[in-house]
Structure 1
Amino acid sequence: MRSIANTAVALALGQVANAAFGFTTTSTGFSVDTDGGLVFQINKANGDLTSLKYNGVEYQGTGKASSINSGLGASTVTAENIDGHVKITVKSNGLPVTHYYVAKKGDATVYLATKNQGSVDPGELRFLARLKTSELPTGVHGDVGDNRGCTAFEGKDTFKCANGHTSCKMYTSDRFIEDKVHCVSGSKAQVCMVMPGVAYETSAGGPFMRDINSQTTSGDQELYWYMNSGHVRTEDWRSGLNGPYAMTFTAAGTKPSENLDTSFFGSLKIDGYVGESGRGSVTGKATGVPSTFEAVVHWSNKDAQYWTKAQGGNYKSPLMKPGSYTVKLYKGEFLVSTDTVTVTAGQTTTKDIASKESAPAVVWRIGEFDGQPFELKNGDKITRMHPSDSRMSSWSGGFTVGTSKASDFPMALWSKQGSPATVTFSLTSAQVKSHVLRIGTTLSFKTGRPSVKIGSWTGTDPGAPKLIDSRGVTRGAYRGYGEVYTWDVPASAFREGSNTLTVGVIGSGSDTWLSANYIVDALELQV
C-alpha cells in the first residue's frame, strides 16, 4: 500500500515513475529534470529561474536570478505535464506578461515563449539569463562586451579599459536576419539562445535591427534575447506571443542547430501560438537588385514581421499569420521598393516586387547606397567598439576623387568631433554646369544632418530628420530611418579644375561624442 501511495504522489507531482524526466514541487517552486543532462528550478512566487545544472555543474549566477527583464515580480506560477512535456506558466500579477518554460524529454534545453500586451516598463522586453562568469567566461563576439576591470565613461553601459579598448553590451549584437543562435561559452559547456523559425515575428525593428546579446561582468555572464526595446527603435511595440525561443546547453564547441523544432508547442495550449495550419506564405520574384548586393524582402504590419533573402531573384517567405502586410525590398539595407500583399491561412500567394531605384550618371560617388557604412573609414569597426577606441583611425576626413579610397572618408560626422570632411574633385569646362548633390545617411542623433558647401555656394538646411531618442553610433548602431538628402547645385558654384565640397553637421550638443551626428551611407555628385 505504501508503494502504491508513493507512486500516486509521484504521478501527482508530474513525474513518471522510475524515470528522471518530469518535475517535482519543492518548498520554493518547481524542479524540472529534462533527462538530457539539464535540471532547472523555477521560483513559484515570481517565475524566476533560480538554478541551471548541466551535467552536475551549476551555471546559474550567484547574484540575481534569470528572468524576463529584471523579474516579473509577484506572479501566479503553475506546472503541469501536457502531451509528454513539462510546461510551467508564469502570469505576472502586475505586468501584462505571461511567460512559459517548457521541457522536452532528452533535451538539455529550456524552451521559452513570452506573451506581452503592450509596452512593459522600462520600455523593453527581454529574457536575461544570469550565468556564472567563472564557468562561462567568453561572451558573444569574444570580449567586446566584457567590462571586467574597465571603467564606465558613457552612461552605465559603455566602458573604457586600460589598453584604450572599449566595451559595451550593445557591441555583442547582430542583425536579426542572421541572429538565430548566439552563445556564451567555457571549457566544459556553452549556453546558447536559439531563435528558430518565426521567433522574431512579434519583435520590432525589422530584419536589420540589432540588440544586446551578452555582457560579461566580474560576477555574472549575462546572456540575452531582446524581443522589444527602445535601442534605436524605428517601430512601435508589437503585442502578442514572442517565440517559441530556447536556451540550450551543449558541450563546449558544439553549437546547436538554428532550425530547432518547436512544432510541439501546438499541443501545449500556449496563449497566442499559431501553428503551421493557421498560416500562409508568399512567393515570387524580387528583381532589379544588382547581384553584388543582398536582396532582402521584408513584410510587416502592426502585429507581425517577417523577412527572407531572395536567391537568384526568387524568394519564398516564412509561414506568416494571415493579414495584410506592407512588403519592402532592400538592396542590402537600402529601401528600393514598397508594396502590399495579403496572406491567407493555408494558401501560398504569388507577389513579385521590383526595385524602383534609378541609376543616375555621376561625376563621382563615395561609398554605395546600400544602407550600410562599412566601406567608409572606421565602418569596419563601429559595430564592435566606441568611436573613441584606440583602435579607431582619426575621424577627420579628406577625400580626393581619383586617388582616395572609400575608406578615407569618415563613416560618421559629429558637430563637435571630426567634421567637416572634404571632397576634392576636378571638373572639365564642359562639366561646369548645374549638378545634383546627393548624400545618404543611415542614422542620426540629436537631429544631426549634413551641411554642404562648394565654393561660394552653401546648401540650404534640409530640415531635421525624424528624431530617434536613443544613442546610436557610440553604442555600435548604424541603422535608423535612412534619410537621403539632395541639393540642386547651380553652375556658379563650380569652376574648371579643382573644386572642394565641405560636408559638416547641422545640430548641437556639448559632449564630443554625444553631440549631433549622423552616419554616412554614400554621397555622389550627379551628372
Structure 2
Amino acid sequence: MSGSASRAVRRRTFVLGSAASAASAASATSAALAGPLAGSASAAGFGWSDDGSNYVVDTGASLVFKVGKTNGDLTSLVYKGTEYQGYGGKNSHVESGLGASTVTLKQSGSTILISVAHGTLRHYYAARSGENNIYLWTNKADSSVTATRYIVRVKAGLFLNDEPDSYTYTTSTVEASDVFAKSDGQTRSKHYARRRVIDYDYIGWTTGSAGLWIVRSNHEKASGGPFYRSLLRHQSADGGGLYEILYYGENQTESERFGLQGPYVITFTDGGAPSSALYHGTLTTPWADSLGILGYVPDGGRGWLAGVGITGRDTAYPYTVGLANAAAQYWGSARSSDGYFSVDRILPGVYTLTVYKGELAVYSTQVTVSAGATTTLNTITIPSSNDPANAGAIWRLGSWDGTPSGFKNADLMTHAHPSDARAAAWTGNVVIGSGSETSAFPCYLWKDVNSGLLVYFRLTAAQAAAAHTLRIGVTTAYANGRPQITVNDAWTSAIPSPPTQPSTRSLTVGSYRGNNHTFSYSVPASAWRTDTSQYNVLRIDVVSGSGTTGHLSAGTAIDAIDLLA
C-alpha cells in the first residue's frame, strides 16, 4: 500500500497511556469497557467451541477470539464483527511463534483458560464472561526457549499513524533494516517509543469508535528496571504490532529473569482508553488463584514495602525507589513532599533497595520482604556525598540526574535517529559563561562524529594555582566509547578503562539508559594557563578500538561534566 493510498484509507490516532492520566482515563471510559470488575454471572453467549483447528472463545460481550490447537497462536481477534488479527500471514503469539505445542482448555465458571505448553515454557490465555479482555501470562523457566515478547499483529488499514514508532510512509533505511528516513529527513523506527517502563500503563491505537490496547504487566520478571526503554508498538504498510516485552536484550543492563510474568491484557474499548481497573497497579485477579497457572503467586503469598520518608533529597527532581534481586524487580515513586513511598505485591525475598534521583542511583541498602506482611522502613537519609551535585564546582555542564537532559538534542534522541533532520549540528564548541553552554553541548559524543569537542573557560589566579578534578558522568556507551581529555595541549589524561555497558546498539535506537558511570581526571596545576585573561581549553576525545563509522562508531551519552573547586 502506497503512502497516498494509506492516507486514503482512514487517518487514525494513537495513545500511549501514562500512570499520571489514570484517573481521567477511567472517568472518560467507564462506559466503554465491562472491565475486570464485571459480575461473575455468565453473560449471554459466553462459552467456547472447537472448530477442529482452533479453540473459539466467545466472551459474551463483543469479543470472539481463536487460539490454534497445535501451536498456541492467537489466530483470530474479532471485535464487534471486525477481524483485527494478522498481517503478512502471521498470527499473534509469543516471540515469533512457538511452533508445535500442547494446547488445552478448561472452563471454571465464568472463566475460560487456554494453556499452551512448549518444552519448559508455559503460556496462558484467560477470558472472563462479559469482558472484552484477554488476560495473558507467560512463564519462561529457562533459556531453552527464546521467548522475549508477546506481539499482537494487527491488520493493515485499521489503525494508521505517522508517529516516531511508525514507518508506514517510508522504505528508505538509515541503519540496519529497522530505522527509516522519510523524504523530509525525519526518521522512524519501532524502537522510538519515547516511554520508559515507568511512564506508561498501556499502549495501542484508537479510531475514536474502537480502541485496541495492550495493558502492560507489572514487569516483575522483566529486566532493566523502571527506566528501561523497549519496543512498544510499530506501524508499517503491512500492518501494526503491539508488544509486551518480557525480556529484550538491546541496551540491557541486567541478566534475564525467569518465571511467570503477567497478567498483561489485550483489551478492546469503544474508542476510549482502557479501564484503569486493568492497570498493573490496580488489577487483582483472585479469580485466577485456583486455575493452576504454573508459577502463579496470589496476593496472600506476597508482601508489601513502605518507607516513611527520604531526607537529603533535591526537591527539584523526582525520586524513585527500586527493588531488585535475581528473581524479580519492582519500583515506586517517592512522594515529592516528604519522600514517602510504597511498593505492593512483592514476591518474598531479600532485595537491593535503590533510591534514584532522576535516574541516578544515590542510595542503596538491603531489605527483606515476607509473605503476607508489610515491611516498614524508617526515614532514609541520603548522605550528601552520595549526590555528585553537592560537590562544589568551578563550572558545571548539565545536571547530575542520570540522564542527558538539557544537553543539545537530548529531547529528540528518545524518538529519532541522530541523523534526523530535526537534530541540531552535533559539532560545535562551548564557552563556559555564555549562558547557553549546556544546551550547546551535544548529549552524545562519537569517535567518528564529534570527537575532539572543545570547552573554553577561564580560571582565577587562585584556581589556576591548584590541581583540580574534572568529572565526566555518562549514562551508557556504545562499542566501549569513553572520554579522554586534554587540557591546553599541555596535559593529556591516560585512556580510562571502559566501564561495564551493554554491548548492543543504544544511542541510535532511542535509548541512553545503560550503567551510569563517572570518569574522574586529576588535572595538575601545571596544565592551567596562569594568564587569567586567557581561556583554558579542554578537549574531549572519544577513544575506543571498537565500533564502525558515523553514528555507529564508538560513542557515549553525557550525564554531566564539571570542574571541581
TM-score by length of 1: 0.93
1:140-289 aligned at under 5 Å gives the runs: 142-196=163-217, 199-257=218-276, 258=279, 259-284=282-307, 285-289=309-313
Matched, 1:112 2:150: no
Contact 1:145 1:172 survives alignment (8 Å): no
Q: Residue 449 of structure 2 corresponds to which residue in structure 1?
A: 417
CA deviation after TM superposition for structure 1 residue 165, in Å: 1.1
- Asked if 1 retains the 8 angstrom alpha-carbon contact of 2:195 and 2:229, the reply is yes
Q: Is the 8 A contact 2:164 2:415 kept in 1?
A: no
Contiguous gaps of at least 5 residues in structure 1: 1-15
The reply on whether 1:321 has 2:342 as its aligned counterpart is no
Q: Tell me the amino acid that sits aligned with residue 188 of structure 2.
A: S
Could you tell me which runs of 5 or more consecutive residues in structure 2 were left unpaired when the two chains were aligned. 1-40
Residue number among 439, 446, 464 corresponding to 2:498 in the alignment: 464
Amino acid at match of 1:521: D
Please give the residue correspondences for 1:81-92 in structure 2 after superposition, counting only pairs within 5 Å: 81-92=107-118
The counterpart of 1:29, out of the listed 49, 54, 58, is: 54
Partner of 1:483: 517
Once residues 42 and 512 of structure 2 are traced to their aligned partners in structure 1, the CA distance between those partners, rounded to angstroms, is 55
Match of 2:462 among 430, 437, 443: 430
Q: Does the CA-based 8 Å contact 1:180-1:195 persist in structure 2?
A: yes
Given that 1:135 and 1:187 are in contact with CA atoms closer than 8 Å, whether structure 2 keeps it comes out as no
* Aligned 8 A contact 2:49 2:55 in 1: yes
Residues 307-336 of structure 1: per-residue CA shift (max 9 Å, x gap): 001102111112211111111111100011
The corresponding residue for 1:407 is: 439
Q: Counterpart amino acid of 2:271?
A: A
| 8 Å Cα contact 2:475-2:512 kept in structure 1 | yes
Question: In structure 1, what is the equivalent of residue 556 of structure 2?
Answer: 518
Residue matched to 2:10: none
Q: Secondary structure at the match of 2:191?
A: helix
- Other structure's SS at 1:51 match: strand
**Structure 2 CA distance for partners of 1:222 and 1:272, relative to 1, 3 Å:** same
Q: Which one-letter code corresponds to 2:361 in the other structure?
A: L
* Cα separation, partners in 2 of 1:314 and 1:228, compared to 1, 3 Å: same
* Amino acid paired to 2:359: E
**Using a 3 Å threshold, how does the CA distance of structure 1 residues 120 and 374 change in structure 2: closer, same or farther?**
farther
How far is the alpha carbon of 1:187 from its aligned partner? 4.8
Check the 8 A contact 1:191/1:247 in 2, yes or no.
yes
Cα distance in 2 for residues equivalent to 1:37 and 1:58:
12
Q: How does 1:370-389 map to 2 (within 5 A)?
A: 370-389=401-420
Q: In structure 2, what is the equivalent of residue 9 of structure 1?
A: none
Query: Would you say 1:390 and 2:417 are equivalent positions?
Result: no
Contact residue 138 and residue 185 of structure 1 kept, 8 A:
no
Counterpart amino acid of 2:138?
T
Identity of aligned residues (%): 37
Matched AA of 1:512: G
How far is the alpha carbon of 1:90 from its aligned partner? 0.5
d(CA) in 1 for partners of 2:449, 2:295: 49
Cα distance in 2 between the residues matched to 1:511 and 1:147 = 28
Choose which of 466, 486, 492 in structure 2 pairs with 1:453. 486
1:393-452 deviations in whole A, cap 9, x for unaligned? Answer: 100132211114221100000000022222111111111111110110001000000111
Q: 1:98 to 1:65 in 2, by over 3 A?
A: same
Residue number in structure 2 paired with 1:504: 541
Post-superposition shift, 1:252?
Answer: 2.1
Question: Given that residues 61 and 219 in structure 1 are in contact (C-alpha distance below 8 angstroms), is that contact kept between their aligned partners in structure 2?
Answer: no
Measure the CA separation in 2 of the matches of 1:50 and 1:20. Answer: 20
1:52 is matched by which residue type in structure 2? Answer: L
Higher deviation after alignment, 226-235 or 277-286: 277-286
Superposed CA offset, 1:141-180 (max 9, x none) = x343324322223112111221111111110252111222
Tell me the distance in 2 between the aligned counterparts of 1:79 and 1:271. Answer: 15
> What letter is aligned with 1:314?
Y
- Partner of 2:429, secondary structure, is strand
Per-residue deviation, 1:132 = 1.4
Please state how far the C-alpha of 1:293 moved relative to its aligned partner.
0.7
Aligned length: 505
Contact 2:164 2:190 in 1 (8 A): no
* Cα distance change of structure 1 residues 160 and 189 upon mapping to structure 2, 3 Å threshold: same
SS at match of 1:430: helix
Cα separation, 1, equivalents of 2:348 and 2:166: 39
Distance 1:407 1:120 in 2: 47
Q: Which residue among 376, 382, 399 is the counterpart of 1:355?
A: 382
- Secondary structure of the 2:199 match is coil
Change beyond 3 A, Cα 1:17–1:478: closer
How far has the Cα of 1:263 moved from its partner?
Answer: 3.5
Contact 1:185 1:191 (C-alpha < 8 Å) held by counterparts: yes
Against the structure 1 CA distance between its residues 248 and 18, is the aligned structure 2 distance closer, same or farther, given a 3 Å change threshold? closer
Q: Helix, strand or coil for the counterpart of 1:177?
A: helix
For residue 467 of structure 1, report the CA deviation from its aligned partner.
4.1
- The separation in 1 between residues aligned to 2:131 and 2:476, in whole angstroms, is 42
Q: Does the 8 A contact of 2:66 with 2:74 survive in 1? A: yes
The 2-side partners of 1:441 and 1:346 are apart by 41
Please say if residues 413 and 420 of structure 1, whose CA atoms lie closer than 8 Å, have aligned partners that are also in contact: no
How far residue 301 of structure 1 moved from its aligned partner, in angstroms, is 0.6
Equivalent-residue separation in structure 1 for 2:108 and 2:284 (angstroms): 17
CA RMSD of aligned residues (A): 1.7
Distance 1:385 1:17 in 2: 48
SS in 2 for 1:330: strand
The reply to whether residue 368 of structure 1 matches residue 399 of structure 2 is yes
What is the CA deviation profile of residues 485-521 of structure 1, one whole-angstrom value per residue up to 9, with x for unaligned ones?
1011111111223111111201143321111000001
Letter in 1 for 2:202: V
TM-score, length of structure 2 as denominator length: 0.86
Structure 2 residue aligned with 1:13? none
